[in-house]
Structure 1
Amino acid sequence: MRHRNKGRKLATDASHQKALMVGLTKEIINHERIKTTEARAKEVRTMLDKVITLSKKGDLHSRRQVLATLNDRGLTDKLFTEIAPRFAERNGGYSRILKLGPRQGDAASMVIIELV
C-alpha cells in the first residue's frame, strides 16, 4: 500500500527519481522549455514551482536552499536575476504543459513543459 507516499514512482528508486527531477528542473531553467513524457512533466512541475517560489523571496537563505537543490551556481544566478522577477506578481502556476501525442517507439504520451 502506498499510504502517505506522494508523487509518482517513474519505475526507478528514490535516488534516481531525485536526480531525474533535479536534472529536468535544471534543463527547464536553462532552456525555459523542454520535451519530455507527461508523467515526468507533471512530477517535475512541483519541484520547479518550489524553486521559483524560493527565488522570488530573494534573500540569502532562499538562495542557499536553491543552490543546495540545483547544485549549479550559474543557474541559481539566472533564476534569481532573470526568471524570478518575471513571476513577481504571480502566485504559482509558473509552468505550462502542452500535449504533443504519443511517442513513436513506445507510445508514451509526450508533452512540452515550459515557463509561462
Structure 2
Amino acid sequence: MALQRKLGRATDQRKAILKGLVTSLFKTGKIQTTEARAKEVKNIAEKLIATAVKELDSFTSKQVKVTTAKLDSDGKKITKTATSKNGRKYEVVDREEKTDMITVDSASRLHARRQIMNWVYRVHDEEGKAINIVDKIFDEIAPKYKEKNGGYTRIYKLGPRRGDAAEVVILELV
C-alpha cells in the first residue's frame, strides 16, 4: 500500500508540490487547492502538528555568555585601535559581554524539529525577512492545539474548477 497518493506526478515533483502546499498552509493558515492534494496536505500537516504538540514542553533554559559589537547612535560598530606584537596598529571592533537565557531542545524535540524541516521550505514575508516556519509551528500553532487530540485542519468544498472540472477546496487550520 502506498503511503501517499501519486497525484499523477513523478516522486520529486509530487514532494515539491506537497512541501510547497504544507509551507503555505503553515505560513498563511489557509490554502486553496484540489481535493486530492488537500487530503494529502491534511495528512502531512496533522502529523507535523501532532509531533510539535507532543514535544511542546521538552526543552530547558540555560544562561549563556554572548558578546556583541558596541554600536554608536547611527548603528555603526565602534572600533578601537590596537597594537600588535611587532608594533603595527590595526582596528578592532569594541565588544560588550552579557548573559542571555536561551532554550535548549531535548533530543526528542530536536528530532521533531528536523522531521518538520523535511516538509517545509524556507520562506520570506513581503518585506523580505525570513520566516522560520518550524519556530512558528512550535511557538504559535502547537500551543493552540495543546488540549486537542487531532482534527487540526478543516476542508471546505468550493465546487468544480472552470478549466478542468477538478474539485476545488479550501484547507485551513482550525
Query: Same fold judged by TM-score > 0.5?
Result: yes
Mapped to 2, the partners of 1:108 and 1:95 lie a distance apart of 21
TM-score by length of 1: 0.90
How many residues align structurally? Answer: 113
How many Å apart are 1:71 and its aligned residue? 4.3
Q: Which residue of 2 aligns with 1:28?
A: 25
Greater fraction of residues in helix: 1
Aligned AA (1:33): K
TM-score by length of 2: 0.61
Mapped to 2, the partners of 1:114 and 1:37 lie a distance apart of 13
How many Å apart are 1:95 and its aligned residue? 0.5
Q: Which residue of 2 aligns with 1:64?
A: 114
- What per-residue deviation string (whole Å, max 9, x for no partner) do you get for residues 24-52 of structure 1? 00000000001100110011111101111
Mapped to 2, the partners of 1:78 and 1:96 lie a distance apart of 19
Q: Which has the larger radius of gyration?
A: 2
Greater fraction of residues in strand: 2
- What per-residue deviation string (whole Å, max 9, x for no partner) do you get for residues 56-89 of structure 1? 1132221222123324370111111000000101
Percent identity between the aligned chains? 46
Mapped to 1, the partners of 2:154 and 2:136 lie a distance apart of 20
Q: Following TM superposition, where does structure 1 have runs of at least 4 consecutive aligned residues deviating by more than 3 angstroms? A: none
SS across alignment from 2:8 = coil
Q: Which residue of 2 aligns with 1:39?
A: 36
CA RMSD of superposed structures (Å): 1.4
Unaligned runs of 5+ in 2: 57-108, 123-130
